[in-house]
A and B are shown apart, each in its own frame.
Chain A
Amino acid sequence: MFDKKILEEVRRLKESYDASVEKTIVKRPERRESFTTGGGIPLKRLYTPLDIEGVDYERDLGVPGSYPYTRGVQPTQYRGRFWTMRQYAGFATAEDSNRRYRMLMEQGTMGLSVAFDLPTQIGYDSDHPMAAGEVGKVGVAIDSLADMEILFNQIPLDKVSTSMTINAPSSVLLAMYIGVAEKQGVSMEQLSGTIQNDILKEYIARGTYIFPPKPSMRLITNIFDFCSRNVPKWNTISISGYHIREAGSTAVQEVAFTLADGIAYVEAAIKAGLDPNVFGKRLSFFFNAHNDFIEEIAKFRAARRLWAKILKDRFDVTDPKALSLRFHTQTGGCTLTAQQPENNIARVTIQALAAVLGGTQSLHTNSMDEALALPTEKSVRIALKTQQIIAHESGVCNTVDPVAGSYAIESLTNEIEDQAMAYISKIDEMGGMMSAIEKGYVQKQIQDAAYDYQLSIEENDRIVVGVNKFTVEEEKGTLQLLKVDESVGTNQAKKLKELRESRDNIAVNNALDKIRETAKDEGANLMPAILDAVRCYTTEGEICGILREEFGEYKENIVL
Chain B
Amino acid sequence: MSDRKIRVVVAKPGLDGHDRGAKVIARALRDAGMEVIYTGLRQTVDQIVDTAIQEDVDAIGISILSGAHHHYFKAIIEGLAEKDAKDIIVFGGGVIPEADIPSLTEMGAGAIFGPGTPTSTCATWLKEAVAKKREAE
Which residues of A356-374 are within 8 A (CB) of B? 371-374
Bitwise, B43-80 to A at CB < 8 A (1) or not (0) is 01000000000000000000000111011100100000
Distance A556 CA – B17 CA, assembled complex (angstroms): 11
Q: Residues 4-45 of chain B: 1 if any A CB is under 8 Å from the residue's CB, otherwise 0?
A: 000000000011111110011011100000000010111010
Contact indicator B116/A560 (Cβ below 8 Å): no
Q: Do the beta carbons of B66 and A558 come within 8 Å of each other? A: no
Most buried by A among B14, B15, B98, B119: B15
Q: How far is the CA of A133 from the CA of B44 in the complex (A)?
A: 12
A454/B99 in contact, CB under 8 A: no
Task: Assess the A133–B68 pair: CB atoms within 8 A.
Answer: yes
Query: In the complex, are the beta carbons of B15 and A122 less than 8 A apart?
Result: yes
Q: What's the nearest-Cβ distance from chain B to residue A303, in Å? A: 22
Contact with A along B82-94 (1 / 0, CB 8 A): 0000000000000
Q: Which residue of B lies closest to A206 (CB)?
A: B17
**Are B15 and A558 interface neighbours, CB within 8 A?**
no
- A477 contacts B98, C-beta separation under 8 Å: yes
Shortest Cβ distance from B36 into A: residue: A560
Q: Which residues of B contact A134 (CB under 8 A)?
A: 14-16, 66-68, 71
Contact, CB under 8 Å: B116 / A458: no
CB of A170, distance to nearest CB on chain B (Å): 16
Interfacial chain B residues near A248, Cβ < 8 Å:
20, 24
Bound-complex Cα distance A477 to B103 (A): 14
Determine if A137 is an interface residue (Cβ-Cβ < 8 Å).
yes
The number of chain B residues with a CB under 8 A from chain A is: 34
Is there contact, CB below 8 Å, between A458 and B66? no
Question: For B99, what are the chain A residues with a Cβ–Cβ distance below 8 Å?
Answer: 476-477, 481
Q: Are A373 and B15 in contact (CB under 8 A)?
A: no
Chain B residues, Cβ within 8 Å of A337: 115-116
When distances are taken between beta carbons in the complex, the residues of chain A under 8 Å from B105 are none
What residues of chain A lie closer than 8 Å to B42, measured between beta carbons? Answer: 130, 207, 556
Q: Is the CB of A118 within 8 A of B15?
A: yes
- Whether B27 lies near A451 (C-beta < 8 A) is yes
Within B93-117, the residues touching A (CB, 8 Å) are 95, 97-99, 114-116
Question: Could you tell me the distance in whole angstroms from the C-beta of B78 to the nearest C-beta in chain A?
Answer: 13
Within the complex, which residue of B26, B72, B98, B115 is in contact with A560, where a contact is CB–CB below 8 Å?
B26
| Known A137-B68, A451-B24, A556-B40; contact A338-B120, beta-carbon cutoff 8 A | no
Most A C-beta atoms less than 10 A away, residue of B19, B20, B28: B20
B7 to chain A: closest CB distance in Å? 15
**B41: A residues at CB distance < 8 A:** 207, 556
Residue numbers in B under 8 Å from A481 (CB-CB): 97, 99
Residues A137 and B23 in contact in the complex (CB < 8 Å), given A118-B15, A207-B18:
no
A371 to B94, CA, bound (A): 9
Chain A nearest CB from B20 CB (Å) reads 5
The smallest C-beta distance from B66 to any residue of chain A, in angstroms, reads 5
Number of A-B contacts (CB under 8 A): 108
Q: How far is the CB of A247 from chain B (nearest CB, A)?
A: 5
A539 on the B face (CB < 8 A): no
Q: Which residue of A lies closest to B120 (CB)?
A: A458
Residues of chain A within 8 A (CB-CB) of B23 are 447, 450-451, 560
Bound CA–CA A387/B95 (angstroms): 25
Nearest chain-B residue to A464 (Cβ)?
A: B116
CB-CB contacts of A128-147 with B at 8 A, as 1s and 0s?
00111110011000000000
The answer to whether A137 touches B20 (Cβ under 8 A) is: no
Q: Which residues of chain B are within 8 angstroms of A374 by Cβ–Cβ distance?
A: 67
| A149 on the B face (CB < 8 A) | no
CB neighbors of B among A476-499 (8 A): 476-477, 481, 484
Distance A131 CA – B66 CA, assembled complex (angstroms): 12
Which residues on the B side are within 8 Å of A464 (C-beta)? 116
Contact between B97 and A373 (Cβ–Cβ < 8 Å)?
yes
Contact status A133-B14, CB under 8 Å: yes
A339 CA to B114 CA, complexed, in Å: 10
The reply on A60 being an interface residue by CB < 8 A is no
A450 B40 Cβ-Cβ under 8 A: no
A202 to B116 alpha-carbon distance, docked (Å):
25
Contact with B along A344-385 (1 / 0, CB 8 A): 000000000000000000000000000111100000000000
Check if A467 sits within 8 Å of B68, measured CB to CB.
Answer: no
- In the complex, what residues of B have CB within 8 A of residue A414's CB? none
B67 proximity list for chain A (CB < 8 A): 134, 137-138, 373-374, 484
Report B-chain residues with C-beta under 8 Å of the C-beta of A21: none
B residues within 8 A CB of A247? Answer: 18-20
Q: Evaluate contact between B20 and A138: CB separation under 8 angstroms.
A: no
**Which chain A residues lie closer than 8 Å to B17 at the CB level?**
118, 202, 206-208
Give B118's nearest chain A residue, CB to CB.
Answer: A458
* Residues in chain B near residue A132, CB distance under 8 A: 71
**B residues in contact with A118, CB < 8 Å:** 14-17, 66
Contact A137 B66 (CB under 8 A): yes
Within the complex, what minimum Cβ distance (angstroms) separates A151 from chain B? Answer: 20
Instruction: Find B98's partner among A206, A476, A484 (CB 8 Å cutoff).
Output: A476
**A334 within 8 Å of B (CB atoms):** yes
Question: Whole-angstrom distance between the alpha carbons of A454 and B113 in the complex?
Answer: 15
Can you list 26 pairs linking A and B with CB atoms under 8 Å apart? A118-B16, A118-B17, A119-B15, A130-B14, A132-B71, A133-B14, A133-B71, A133-B72, A134-B14, A134-B15, A134-B67, A137-B68, A138-B67, A207-B41, A208-B17, A248-B24, A372-B115, A373-B67, A458-B118, A458-B120, A467-B116, A468-B118, A477-B99, A484-B67, A558-B38, A560-B27
Closest 10 CB pairs of A and B: A207-B17, A133-B71, A118-B15, A137-B67, A133-B68, A338-B115, A467-B116, A558-B40, A477-B99, A371-B115
Contacts from B to A (Cβ < 8 Å): 14-20, 23-24, 26-28, 38, 40-42, 44, 66-68, 70-72, 75, 95, 97-99, 114-116, 118-120
7 new A-B contacts at CB < 8 Å, known A130-B42, A206-B17, A208-B17: A118-B16, A130-B44, A207-B18, A207-B42, A451-B27, A468-B118, A476-B98
